[in-house]
């Protein structure tokens, strides 16, 4: 006698629908402030101070023209300054911390544990606690009011050291031993392993670019002249600077400041996702 047929029951879909609804609501809540900021670049001050009014009366790009012609800030100059700082700092910190991470992951040396503890201290210590000492050090080096004075402190990252130490620990020992048996120097072994961890290099570079692009404390501490300022500092100086200042200019600049990070994230998203999944898997 054959077994009785069981009735097919379709999978219960209510949780997935609920999850989709929650994600959709969260997406709207997160996207709305950016949409309001973008549309506010076309409003006058009276419209901006009506937060429930989303659409402007007219889409006149006059405030973008005021931003680009340098009427309020030297936009293209400060934008270039921010780009130079973010690119050089992110590239430099990747080089420095990846070499340090390789050394910690693949070599035993005296003081290794102490240096690792110092890296943890650097992560936990707020930047404000080091502000006076940092300014004094940069002043001694003659880097005050120089972009190099903003770039140099960012080359040290305790988080980057921990990150790349974990990354290089995941590389198979056989590859490292084979390169050493072939007579390669430690620096040559490090260069040989770089293609294997390229996703991690690009991912950390992206994170550091975003941090450097939006950095406030060190540029505010080091840079004094308007031509040497970075974009976030220049925009912060505009806020409340004058009663006749059109806040739509600030909204236009705030919309444009998002472009580099959005473009980079879109280009490197797959690499970032791959490096994060590999790191969490181990």
Task: Tell me the domains of the chain and their CATH numbers.
Answer: 14-60 (no CATH), 70-281 (1.10.3720.10)
Would you give the DSSP letter of residue 241? S
**In this model, does residue 208 exceed pLDDT 70?**
yes
109 three-class SS = coil
278 to 33, 43, 76, 190, 248: CA distances (angstroms): 33, 46, 39, 20, 43
Residue 62's CB is within 10 A of a number of other CB atoms, namely 14
Integer-rounded Cα Rg, in Å, for the chain is 25
Lowest pLDDT segment from 6-10, 31-35, 205-209, 276-280? 6-10
**What is the phi-psi region of residue 240: left when phi exceeds 0, alpha when psi lies from -120 to 50, beta otherwise?**
left
Tell me the C-alpha distance between 226 and 31, whole Å: 32
Which tens digit of pLDDT belongs to each residue from 35-64?
Answer: 988 999 999 888 888 878 888 888 988 999
pTM of whole model > 0.85?
no
Q: Is the distance from CB of 189 to CB of 180 less than 8 angstroms?
A: yes
Would you give the DSSP letter of residue 228? G
Residues 6 or more apart whose Cβ sits within 8 Å of residue 206: 90, 264, 265, 268, 272
Which tens digit of pLDDT belongs to each residue from 49-106?
Answer: 887 888 888 898 899 999 998 888 899 999 999 999 999 999 999 999 999 999 888 8
Tell me the C-alpha distance between 58 and 30, whole Å: 25
Residue 55's CB is within 10 A of a number of other CB atoms, namely 10
Q: Is the distance from CB of 216 to CB of 234 less than 8 angstroms?
A: no
Residue 135's CB is within 10 A of a number of other CB atoms, namely 15
């Amino acid at each position: 006698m054959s077994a009785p047929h069981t009735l097919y029951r379709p999978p219960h879909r209510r949780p997935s629908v609920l999850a989709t609804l929650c994600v959709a609501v969260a997406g709207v809540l997160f996207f709305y402030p950016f949409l309001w900021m973008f549309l506010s670049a076309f409003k006058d001050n009276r419209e901006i101070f009506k937060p429930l009014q989303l659409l402007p009366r007219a889409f006149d790009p006059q405030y973008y023209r005021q931003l680009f012609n340098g009427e309020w800030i030297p936009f293209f100059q400060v934008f270039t300054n921010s780009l130079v700082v973010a690119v050089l700092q992110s590239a430099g910190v990747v080089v420095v911390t990846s070499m340090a991470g390789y050394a910690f992951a693949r070599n035993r040396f005296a003081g290794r544990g102490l240096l690792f503890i110092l890296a943890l201290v650097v992560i936990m210590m707020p930047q404000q606690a080091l502000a006076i000492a940092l300014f004094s050090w940069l002043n001694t080096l003659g880097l005050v009011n120089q972009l190099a004075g903003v770039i140099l402190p960012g080359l040290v990252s305790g988080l980057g050291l921990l990150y790349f130490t974990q990354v290089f620990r995941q590389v198979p020992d056989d590859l490292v031993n084979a390169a050493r048996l072939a007579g390669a120097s430690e620096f040559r072994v490090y260069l040989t392993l770089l293609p294997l961890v390229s996703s991690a290099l690009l991912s950390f570079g992206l994170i550091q670019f975003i941090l450097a692009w939006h950095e406030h404390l060190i540029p505010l501490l080091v840079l004094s002249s308007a031509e040497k300022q970075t974009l976030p500092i220049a925009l912060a100086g505009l806020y409340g600077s004058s009663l006749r200042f059109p806040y739509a200019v600030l909204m236009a600049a705030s919309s444009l400041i998002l472009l580099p990070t959005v473009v980079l994230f879109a280009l490197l998203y797959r690499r970032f996702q791959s490096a994060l999944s590999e790191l969490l898997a181990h």
